[in-house]
Amino acid sequence: MKRRTLLSAAVGLAAGMGLPARASSASRIRIATEEAFSTREHMRAMKALVDAHPEVTRFDYKLWRMITGNLEADTPKRLLDFAQLRLPEMDQYGVTMQLLSLTSPGVQMLDKDVAVGVAESTNDELAEVIARHPGRFAGLATVAPQDPARAAKEIERAKNRLRLNGIVINSHTNNEYLDNRKYWPILEAAAAMDMPIYIHPRTPSDQMRAPMDDYNMGSAFWGYGIETSTHFVRIMMSGAFDRFPNLTIVLGHMGEAVHFWIWRLDYMSKAGVQRGETPIKLLPSEYLRRNLRITTSGQENPAALRYSIDVLGLWNVMWAIDYPYQETPGAVRFMETAPLTEPERDAIYFQNAQRVFNIKL
């Protein structure tokens, strides 16, 4: 018996997985909101990139050498698949819908023109996948921040022509962050088109990385969270939310710990105002509640979930698995067993995602 089959068998016997019987009930709606995929073209472009730079030892290069080295291995196979592995797994665990996004770092390590091309073809393919399986998938458009003007245009096309549900940006692009004014056309288009920007982690920018280079700390242990939370804080402190009040940023991993600091961010901001600085119009906590939405990806920690509901509000928290990097049964089990009321569970499982990403079931 293969490992996957074993898992399936265990889940069939819900008790074996610690899953309450209702986990497999078809009646509950579950929308998973940070679910990765890739395309053949994306894989080819990434392979060309890592092949052209054999000398680079950075974590993301090592990771992509591994992923593109054998597309038949489990992770790339699952990234490239929709119907053979993904949908059956969704069915098995009662996942109604996956909100798909091109896996990190998307097109952001590629040269500008290549990146723009791969982004557009990825979005076309994504729209086709969604159309082929009605009700099972929604999607975040990929854009190439390397070319802000075309990225803004692509956001419009993704919204109006492809009917996608938001955009994904994998944190820094060439060590630059979206608070940089040259990227504001992207923020402007996203706000104007009501397309939330999901800021997904990637390996920290070059200058941030050095103290995290040991013990693989630049990865999901620590560095991804520092990179992505710092990105959000930069956007907030730049005044972008004053300029684009409707802009919505989504962070995974239970908010990348930004709101762990909510009290201190407010305190330091007030201290700045007392010193006569007027950096931003509102308190950080007000932007966190107005402009930030978070997902549970990879953070199956009930205490962090409760903390997040307490400080950000129930309406700002959404469920995510992070397929295929995290296990679907674990993410479902987490939600089924988390100490939530049933209305809270539904809000996090699907209602908030429907509202934030304009998803119609």
Partner 1 sequence: MNRRDMLGLAGALGAAAALPGLASGQASEKQFSKPTGKYRRIATEEAFATQPQLDGFRDIGKFLTQGADLSFTQTLIGDSNYAKNMTPRLLDIGAGRVARMDEDGVALQVLSLTSPGVQLFSPDTAISIARESNDILVEAIRKYPTRFAGLAAIAPHDAERSVVEMDRAINRLGLNGFIVNSHTNGEYLDEEKFWPILEAAEALDRPIYIHPRSLPETSLAPFRPYGLGGASWGYAVETGTHGMRLLFSGVFDRFPRLKIVLGHMGEGIPYWVYRFDHMYATAKRNWGTGSLKEPPSFYLKRNMLITTSGMFSEPVLRYCLEVLGADNILWAADYPYQDMREAAAFLDAARIPEADKVKIYSGNAERVFHLKA
Of residues 149, 178, 197, the one with CA closest to residue 237? 178
| Near partner 1 in 149-208, by CB under 8 A | 172, 175, 177, 179, 205, 207-208
Provide, rounded to whole angstroms, the least separation between the CB of residue 240 and partner 1: 11
Provide, rounded to whole angstroms, the least separation between the CB of residue 182 and partner 1: 14
How far apart CA 2 and CA 5 sit, in angstroms, is 5
| Near partner 1 in 203-232, by CB under 8 A | 205, 207-212, 214-217, 219-222, 225-226, 230
Of residues 336, 321, 348, the one with CA closest to residue 86? 321
| Near partner 1 in 272-311, by CB under 8 A | 272, 274-277, 279, 298-301, 303-304, 306-307, 310-311
Q: Is there binding between residue 271 and partner 1 (CB under 8 A)?
A: yes
Instruction: Report the DSSP beta bridge partners of residue 294.
Output: 251, 317
For residue 65, give both structure tokens: 């050498």
17 φ, ψ to 5°?
-95, 5
Angle at 301 between CA 295 and CA 303, to 5 degrees: 100
| Near partner 1 in 246-265, by CB under 8 A | 253-254, 257, 260-265
Annotate each residue in 38-77 with x if it binds partner 1 (CB under 8 A) or - if it does not, as one string. ----------------------------------------
Is 71 or 192 the residue whose CB approaches partner 1 more closely?
Answer: 71
Q: Is there binding between residue 238 and partner 1 (CB under 8 A)?
A: yes
With b meaning 16 or more CB within 10 Å and e meaning fewer, what string describes 243-265?
Answer: ebeebbbbbbbbbbebbbebeeb
How far apart CA 195 and CA 209 sit, in angstroms, is 30
**Three-state SS at 219:** coil
Provide, rounded to whole angstroms, the least separation between the CB of residue 231 and partner 1: 9
- Give the interface with partner 1 as residue ranges (CB under 8 A): 172, 175, 177, 179, 205, 207-212, 214-217, 219-222, 225-226, 230, 233-234, 237-238, 253-254, 257, 260-265, 267-269, 271-272, 274-277, 279, 298-301, 303-304, 306-307, 310-311
